[in-house]
Amino acid sequence: MSAVTGDWRAEVPAVAARLAQAKRVAVITGAGMSADSGLPTYRGIGGLYNDIEVEQNMPIEDILHAYTLARNPALTWKYIAQIGRACRGAGPNDGHRVLAGWDNRFETWVITQNVDGFHRQAGSRNVIEMHGNLSRCYCCACRAAFSDEALDLEVLPPRCAQCDGLVRPDVVLFGEMLPEVALSNYEREIVRGFDVLLAIGTTAGFPYIAEPMLRARRAGAVTVEINPDQTVLSNAVTHRLAGRARDVLLALDAALAEV
């Protein structure tokens, strides 16, 4: 059962032994994965957002909502731009790099709720960004694509250089569906099956995360949770490592090298 804190190191050899025999591994990551990158421990879109002062007493979930983007895009963009600056000032940490290195040991699929793009930056080959990527933007009217660095954010919201339409980030705002391509890629890989599934730094509150983990365990796969906090998965996984993502991944990788 779940050791609440501290003793996660005792679980490391057992998990490393499972990984050493795995052919396909799924890694589902959330905000805790990027907490060691110097980003605030965000919540909100893709785990993005922390204690930034909000205005008009509006909850951040309302500011980063499709409804607000449509009616008051300057307000939504004010926060999007802040989050974007935080992401550009940070980068992948050792935990991201450990996962990228696993591509050379077994087939690794990274399914991330994060929109910071750090898994790709670290070099992971198979990345499914369930909530999009903040550095990609597009015009709502003509669908022209822009990188966030190419946008003029002096005047918000940014407008399309071609048609003057509203430009938005390619992320899932509150009130929006998950992107179809990401969802179908995810489902395709879940159906193909995994030997080990790890949920890292995610509260796993979304059914699309919790349910495949539970189903996989019932089907005989090994499930692992890496999270200092208790989640809905904590008592349902094969192994629970109650530590920070970066620390646990470095320890797992070191143990894996010795198996």
Q: Residues 248, 198, 206, 168: is their CA dihedral positive or negative?
A: positive
Figure out which of the listed residues 63, 122, 139, 171 binds Zn ion, where binding follows CB under 5 A.
139
Closest distance of CB 143 from Zn ion, Å: 7
CA of 230: how far to CAs of 6, 53, 178, 236, in Å?
13, 27, 25, 11
Is the CB of residue 199 less than 8 Å from the CB of residue 227? yes
Closest distance of CB 160 from Zn ion, Å: 3
CA dihedral (254, 95, 36, 175) in degrees, to 10, reads: -150
- Helices 207-218 & 180-192, crossing angle to 10 degrees? 10
Under rule CB under 5 A, how many of the chain's residues touch Zn ion? 8
Q: Which residue number, 127 or 160, has a Cβ lying nearer to Zn ion?
A: 160
Q: Which residue number, 40 or 165, has a Cβ lying nearer to Zn ion?
A: 165
> Taking contact as CB under 5 A, which single stretch among the options 67-75, 102-110, 134-142, 249-257 is the one that binds Zn ion?
134-142
Indicate whether 196 belongs to the interface with Zn ion (CB under 5 A).
no
Return the CA Rg of the chain: 19
One character per residue 164-183, x = contact with Zn ion (rule: CB under 5 A): -x------------------
Q: Which residue number, 83 or 160, has a Cβ lying nearer to Zn ion?
A: 160
Indicate whether 198 belongs to the interface with Zn ion (CB under 5 A).
no
Instruction: Report how far residue 230's alpha carbon sits from residue 40's, in angstroms, rounded to the nearest whole number.
Output: 19
Closest by alpha carbon to 9, among 224, 254, 219, 248?
Answer: 248
Closest distance of CB 141 from Zn ion, Å: 5
Indicate whether 140 belongs to the interface with Zn ion (CB under 5 A).
no
Closest by alpha carbon to 199, among 259, 130, 134?
Answer: 130
Long-range contacts of 220-223 (CB under 8 A, 24+ apart): 221/193, 221/194, 221/195, 221/196, 221/197, 222/15, 222/18, 222/22, 222/195, 222/196, 222/197, 223/196, 223/197, 223/198, 223/199
Closest distance of CB 167 from Zn ion, Å: 8
> Taking contact as CB under 5 A, which single stretch among the options 47-55, 101-109, 158-166, 221-229 is the one that binds Zn ion?
158-166
Q: Which residue number, 70 or 144, has a Cβ lying nearer to Zn ion?
A: 144
Closest distance of CB 176 from Zn ion, Å: 20
Indicate which residues carry an active-site annotation: 131
Indicate whether 141 belongs to the interface with Zn ion (CB under 5 A).
yes
Distance, C-alpha 244 to centroid of its chain: 15
Q: Which residue number, 139 or 256, has a Cβ lying nearer to Zn ion?
A: 139
One character per residue 26-55, x = contact with Zn ion (rule: CB under 5 A): ------------------------------
The site for Zn ion (CB under 5 A) is made up of 139, 141-142, 144, 160, 162-163, 165
